[in-house]
Structure 1
Amino acid sequence: MNTAGFFCFLMVHGLGWTLNCSSPTPDSLFQELQKDLFSKKLIRPVKNLRHSTNISLSITVVGILGVNEKQQSLTTFIWQILEWDIEGLSWDEQECGIRRISVPRDMLWSPDVHVVQFMEDSASPQTPFVYLDNSGRVFDDRPLRLVTSCRLEIYYFPFDVQNCSLTFGSYLHFATDITVSAGSSAADVLSESTDVIYTQGEWELVGISIAPSVLDLDVGSYSEITYFLTLRRSPALYVVNLLIPSGFLITVDLFSFLLPPTSVDRSSFKMTLILGYTVFLLIMNDLLPSTGNATPLISVFFSISLALMVASLLETVFITHLQLSSTSYRAVPHWLSVLVLHYLAVIVCFPPLKKSNRKTVSLHQASAGMKNTIHISVPGLQNISGDTLTVQQCQDPVLDELRKMNKHLGTIRLQMEKQLQSSRSSQDWQTMGVIIDRLLFGLYILFISVSFITIICIWTFSSSLAT
């Protein structure tokens, strides 16, 4: 092969060109770049357009500016680092006097790498220069303020952990033209981001993972790389402003059961608590996130707490009515008496009712054909001979008087039995009221205990997910 053929072989196979600087000065190097590189900025810097350009991409998260639950968006501030090679370009460091030089960005071809999830125009500061070293490597480092879409799960608020993604890829070029690869490992990105991050607000960056991918469409395939950001909310603000005050109000309502049910102060006290809790929820409503597809668990907790307060007020009204108006009620139905006085009383540890030792005075008129006899049973006396008074051969006026007395005593006895039965029925209704009051008091204690244990478990579970 002759000399001319050898040089043609080098040019065809693109072994590259070396800039020849006339002197080791910036002017000399710039003139060579202007002649051999800057004039070709409109095309992709490859010797053969069938060759793909590999874009090395790395990011550093320097700020988590905010999370918008309504818009389902994440606002971050990152440093984006792009690196690619200009095929065949090189110069001698000794001959040109420098190894790396900064050149205007608009004088070089640059890839159209963008974030797939972007939602707003980037309000990023302009960086007009990039670095170019003597091996043809371009180093493009620029800050970006990104507003990207992120599917937020707020069920565990304020102990939630969010997983958002930033997908970088070329907007126009297919994978045959531009391939995107990770410039740093996920551990290095997380370590550097943790060191330089300057604002997090209520969010903490706890994890980063990287996954390359290919987007296949009808027109072609696109090379992409995705950074998965794991963010954890700092719950201290919401614990202090939401959970603790709510717990205090529920505890006060719990201890209001110690007030006597017959007291009017108990009802008014509970009404004041409900009013205060409603005002508290209205004031704290701005702190609660709101989305159309999910309801936070803490909102369910507040709703159940308010419902339980209202139920306790209604129960207090019912118990007060039982205590004050039970004398006008009929006897307690048998099924209700068995359910409440026997089963529920055991559940709430209510002491069993003692049987009454009351004895009654009974009058019996002798039947026809027998002697006129009046039997008087005196309580507490044993049966002895002579305890029955037999009146025989009495005069008619005396019999009439005795009969009248018998009728009057029978009437008195019936009235006393009615009063005793009414008193027993009233006592049963009042006892049922006390048992129901104890039952709701136990439900209050159970709800508060389960709620706080659940919150602690959710907090622990979300923390373990983040780590």
Structure 2
Amino acid sequence: MYLGWLIFYLASVGSPSAAGNCSYKALIEHLGLGSGDVQMTSMRPVSMWETPTLVYMDLYVTSITEVNEKAQSLSTQVTIFIKTEFATTENQYVQLQNQGAVVTSNTLAATTTCEMNLHQFPFDVQSCMFTLQSPIHSNKELVINPYSDASFLTFSSKKAFQTQGEWELLNINTSKANFSTLGDPHDQLIYKITLKRRPLLYVINFLMPVLYFLILDLASFFVDSTGGEKLGFKVTLLLSISVLLLLLQDMLPSTASDIPLIGVYCVVIFTLIGISVLETILVNFLIAKGKTTVSVKKKESSSALSDVVKDTEGSPGSETDRHEEQRYTSDALKQILGELQAAAHLNEKERKGLCWTRVATIIDVVFYFLYLITVIVFLLTLFKAWFP
């Protein structure tokens, strides 16, 4: 962020020989300390030492360089008459206006802390405070006032804006306050800079893929559950969202006071897909149980039928012993009757196997509608929270 400061010193320096005049300049000359210009730089530009110096300031934002969410910091470049290790070459020129105002400005870069509320990330609006005050002069010696109003500062800053990055400048507000430690209170001029994030990059690269995974999970209910493709597909979706959650961890600070809504968005969708995977496992288990029951009973019935055929083929074909033939015929009839009973029992087991399959189908259909309703309610609630 580039910040422009415009400082006006309104000085009314009178003649030191005037009657009743008691200025810093007169005092220094009376003590014989005014032989050089070095002493002149330490004096406030007033004729009477009891008169406070009036300072008017303006702050202009021309670009935003970096906002670090992890470090909760804001990188800025300002224009002001101070010295820091980030400052550019100090301006050696000042402008003296005909009404007695002295205007000066310098440009420097600075990194300041900015407490951020990332609850609505990436649709968040951040406000950063810049507080200006004199480190040594109280409000009896130095009075700081804003030169322009907030609307003019906002309009001028937007007009001079140089970059179109992730952040958009909304407005600049000014306010005054007094701060007191041990002595007299100091004047404070507070600038509140409101920034709005442009969320398009996060919507395309993060929010939309997670939403697509949820839609694919809803569509996977129309895949046949008899094979293992449906379960494998759902597990793949779950792993994909896990990767996106790792990326989200690198974006957001770990010391956030409120859980960001984007975290709630990802965790809830991850949980929903996880529950969907468990439901698919249950449905596959019920279908497999029904198939196992039917296949086992069919195998037993086939074995009994083969025994009947063997017994019939093995009966004697000689007509010499009628009683033996009747006995074998009676045994064959008994075997056939047993086979009919086994077939009836098999039909009962088949019905039981179909019952397991029917239960699995009912669970799948009911879960799908409940799942769909839950997804719709969650997305609507999240949308209202993101855009109140």
TM bracket (short chain): 0.7 to 0.9
- Whether contact under 8 Å (2:238, 2:273) holds in the other structure is yes
> How far does residue 431 in structure 1 lie from its aligned partner after superposition?
2.5
CA distance in 2 between partners of 1:201 and 1:455 (Å): 27
Note closer, same or farther for the CA distance 1:128–1:409 as it changes in structure 2 (3 Å cut).
Answer: same
Alignment-derived partner of residue 457 in structure 1: 384
Residue 51 of structure 2 corresponds to 51
1:325 alignment partner in structure 2: 289
Matches within 5 A, 1:232-311: 232-282=196-246, 284-285=247-248, 288-293=251-256, 294-311=258-275
Q: Which residue of 2 aligns with 1:446?
A: 373
Pairing partner for 2:361 from 434, 437, 443: 434
Gaps of 5+ in 2: 1-14, 26-33, 294-329
Q: How does 1:5-24 map to 2 (within 5 A)?
A: 10-13=18-21
Root mean square deviation, CA, Å = 3.6
Change (3 A) 1:159 1:71: same
Using the alignment, how far apart are the partners of 2:377 and 2:167 within structure 1?
28
After TM superposition, the structure 1 = structure 2 runs for residues 23-38 of structure 1, keeping only pairs within 5 Å, are none
AA partner of residue 149 (structure 2): S
Q: How far apart are residue 456 of structure 1 and its match? A: 4.1
Residue 77 of structure 1 aligns to which amino acid in structure 2?
Answer: Q
Matched letter for residue 168 of structure 1:
L
Q: Is the 8 A contact 1:131 1:139 kept in 2?
A: yes
Output one character per residue of 1:264-323: Cα deviation in whole Å (capped at 9) or x when no partner: 2212222333334434554x4477322312432112212222222222222212111100
Shifted more, 264-273 versus 421-430: the winner is: 421-430
Q: CA shift at 1:196, angstroms?
A: 0.6
AA aligned to 2:18 is L
Percent identical residues: 27
Q: For residues 410 and 170 of structure 1, what CA distance do their matches in structure 2 show?
A: 110
Following TM superposition, by how much is the alpha carbon of 1:415 offset from its aligned partner in structure 2, in angstroms? 5.3
Cα pair 1:159 1:458 within 8 Å, conserved:
no
SS for the counterpart of 1:165 is strand
Which letter does structure 2 place at the counterpart of 1:300? Answer: V
Report deviation, 1:419.
4.4
Residues 115-139 of structure 1 deviation map (CA, whole Å, 9 limit, x = unaligned): xxxxx95344432222223443211
Give how far 1:8 is off. Answer: 9.1
> Residue 104 of structure 2: SS of its match in structure 1?
strand
Contact 1:208–1:228 at 8 Å: present in 2 too? yes
- Structure 2: how far apart are the matches of 1:286 and 1:448? 24
CA distance in 1, matches of 2:342, 2:281: 32
Measure the CA separation in 2 of the matches of 1:180 and 1:236.
40
8 Å CA contact 1:61, 1:76 repeated in 2 = no
Change (3 A) 1:275 1:166: same
Gaps in structure 1 of 5+ consecutive residues: 1-6, 18-33, 81-109, 115-119, 330-402, 462-467
- Aligned amino acid, residue 218 of structure 1: L
Give the deviation of 1:182 after TM superposition. Answer: 0.7
Alpha-carbon distance in structure 2 between the residues aligned to 1:201 and 1:287: 20
DSSP-derived class of the 2:253 partner: coil
d(CA) in 2 for partners of 1:125 and 1:317? 70
| 1:400 aligned residue | none
> Compared with structure 1, are the counterparts of its residues 35 and 245 closer, same or farther at alpha carbon in structure 2 (3 Å cutoff)?
same
Say whether residues 1:68 and 2:68 are aligned partners. Answer: yes
d(CA) in 1 for partners of 2:189 and 2:16? 39
Aligned to 2:185: 221
Which whole-Å CA distance do the structure 2 matches of 1:123 and 1:36 have between them?
28
8 Å CA contact retained: 1:204, 1:231: yes
Out of 228-237 and 268-277, give the one that drifted further: 268-277
In the alignment of these two chains, the number of paired residues is: 331
TM-score (norm 1): 0.62
Distance 1:238 1:55, change over 3 A: same
1:182 equivalent among 137, 143, 146 = 146
Q: Residue 393 of structure 1 corresponds to which residue in structure 2?
A: none
Give me the whole-angstrom Cα distance separating, in 2, the residues matched to 1:417 and 1:124. 97
State the Cα deviation string for residues 186-228 of structure 1 (Å, max 9, x = none). 0011011001111252011112211100012233311101111
